[in-house]
Amino acid sequence: MLSRLKTLSSRQFTFILAVYYVCVFNIPFFAVVKHGIDKQTDVNMLFVATIPLFLVFALSFVFSLFSVKYLAKPFFIVLTLISANVFFAEFQYGAVIDYGMIENLVQTNRAEASTYLNWVSVLSFCITGVIPALLIYKVNIHYQPFAKELLRKALFMLAMLAGILVIAAFYYENYLAFGRNNNLIKRSIIPTYFIGSAAKFININYVQTPLEYRQLGLDAEIVAKKTKPNLVVMVVGETARAQNYSYYGYAKPTNSHTKEQQLLVFKDTHSCGTATAVSLPCMFSRMDRKNYNERRAKAQDSVIDVLDHAGVQLRWLDNDSGCKGVCNNIQHILVDNSKLTKWCNGDSCFDEVLLQELDKQLSSIKTKDTLIVLHLIGSHGPTYYQRYPEQHRVFKPDCQRSDIQNCTQQELFNTYDNTILYTDYILSRVVKRLKQINQFDTAMVYMSDHGESLGESGLYLHGAPYAIAPKQQTHIPFLVWLPEDFAKQNKLSLSCLQQQANSGGFSHDNLFDSLLGLMNVTSTVYKPQGDIFARCKQQ
């Protein structure tokens, strides 16, 4: 059948391809359009009817630029295969492939990427990508002599442009108003938006000249004179949302392991981003979320470096996809998840593997002010069921598969809640270890990098553009274990901290100054107003 495909002119090929992209790959786009229409009380159905025509004309115009002999087939085969994957991500998970998502994908390791592979994704890729790509390869595209081909292509593009202008002439104000009221529309168009985002990523990371590196806080020093040095364990959570924490009003007992340890629970805390690639470097950066710039962040010290300048002993232990550059200048260990051990299956490891690494560090560190960071894999999806051992499979039935959209809501929430409960177990074990240490004043800080969507409003996973991200992806847990001895030695009022924690209004923006304050480090880059502990410091 494929060998007998009829011959198409380049214009016919371009138009048919544009129709396919509109009718198949842009199904998520039309879902966004429908959502916008449903919000309106007065709908002009003629305007609505022009939307698919407008998109066909626009894609036909753009595709014509690449419908060139020797280029068309390889270009559109690759584009169709990539678009098939983007379509699946948007259709099944409600993901938006913008700059931040592309950055996250580039930094994803093999084991993490494999969690998104399942029979549904493979079948979708074959049907929407491989089969059309094979048809593109087999079709016979007839090109006229250069001058005739150029003239006919120009006429075709003018016709498409004329169609766009006619629609705009009648419905320009409708398109303008509808676009302003529905910011997600342009982000959902395949392939134009993800291509633009990819071009931006390539330009920033591979074309632009790197900025000159800037060191911060070279004047940093530890100012407190204490009998014992501080030892703080900073636990960085992964994909944990506050909504599923008992501490934040959730009905299920997801914090049963730490409930007796009197943690400070900081209410209403928000992340810097909705994906690790953004949130992790941002939360340790001097820049706040509103002025955060990835390029500048890579070219200057983080709070980890400032603590290093002050002489604080530092360790970074990682069971996730790396520290995204934050720990490059200090001693760090990335767990080798390719090994088959008690805690690792060859693709990923349970977070208890970090407790083993923590024990090694605690037995070998010098008795001086110390910060140890534990970067958990936590609740990373979609394979939530791989984040906790069988003995921690408390909430059942759970979702034992990666195509989470095909699980029931109860199963999905149960498996995610198991990850939260298991993280709570890890925190309790950290606190237990710190309580046994006598040569340090010990404390623990836990903060997640971002949250997660579990099917609310049709969204799954994370990585939504921050401006339109739901609270499930930005509202995060922020917990602190601060024993009385630590508070007394560091002149902190626990009652004041408890009142402040209940008042809310915190974010990743507080972390830079709060870590410096907790470690009694002063510097010109330190801002007391951002330090949650400075507000409760006793003279």
Angle at 380 between CA 291 and CA 107, to 5 degrees: 55
CB 64 within 8 A of CB 160: yes
Q: Which residue is associated with the tokens 């000159």?
A: 212
CA distance 279 to 289: 9
Q: pTM of this prediction? A: 0.81
CB 190 within 8 A of CB 22: no
Which residues does 141 contact at the CB level (< 8 Å), separation at least 6? Answer: 7, 8, 9, 10, 13, 67, 69, 72, 73
Q: For 221-536, give the CATH class.
A: alpha beta
CA distance 385 to 525: 42
User: What pLDDT does 5 receive?
Assistant: 56
User: What pLDDT does 468 receive?
Assistant: 86
Q: Which residue is associated with the tokens 């059948």?
A: 1
Which residues does 146 contact at the CB level (< 8 Å), separation at least 6? Answer: none
User: What pLDDT does 1 receive?
Assistant: 41
Q: Is 248 helix (H, G, I), strand (E, B) or coil?
A: helix
User: What pLDDT does 99 receive?
Assistant: 82
- Residue 471 in tokens: 């609270």
Helix 72-93 and helix 192-202, axial crossing angle in degrees, nearest 10: 100
In the chain (539 residues long), the average pLDDT of successive 10-residue segments reads 68 96 95 85 85 96 94 96 94 84 77 76 95 95 93 96 95 79 83 90 85 95 92 98 98 97 97 94 96 92 98 97 92 88 90 96 95 97 94 97 90 98 98 96 98 92 89 98 96 96 96 98 97 91
Angle at 119 between CA 117 and CA 122, to 5 degrees: 70
Which residues does 337 contact at the CB level (< 8 Å), separation at least 6? Answer: 111, 319, 344, 346, 347, 348, 349
CA distance 516 to 531: 8
CA distance 285 to 363: 30
Burial of 252 (0-12, 13-18, 19+ CB in 10 A): middle
- Residue 513 in tokens: 């100054």
- Output Rg (C-alpha) for the chain, integer angstroms: 27
CB 386 within 8 A of CB 348: yes
User: What pLDDT does 2 receive?
Assistant: 45
Nearest to 372 by CA among 446, 265, 448, 269: 446
User: What pLDDT does 41 receive?
Assistant: 67
- Residue 373 in tokens: 């960071």
Which residues does 317 contact at the CB level (< 8 Å), separation at least 6? Answer: 332, 333, 335, 354, 357, 358, 361, 372, 373, 374, 375
CA distance 220 to 222: 7
Strand partners, 500: none
CB 116 within 8 A of CB 86: no
CA distance 444 to 139: 63
Q: Structural domain boundaries of the chain?
A: 2-206, 221-536
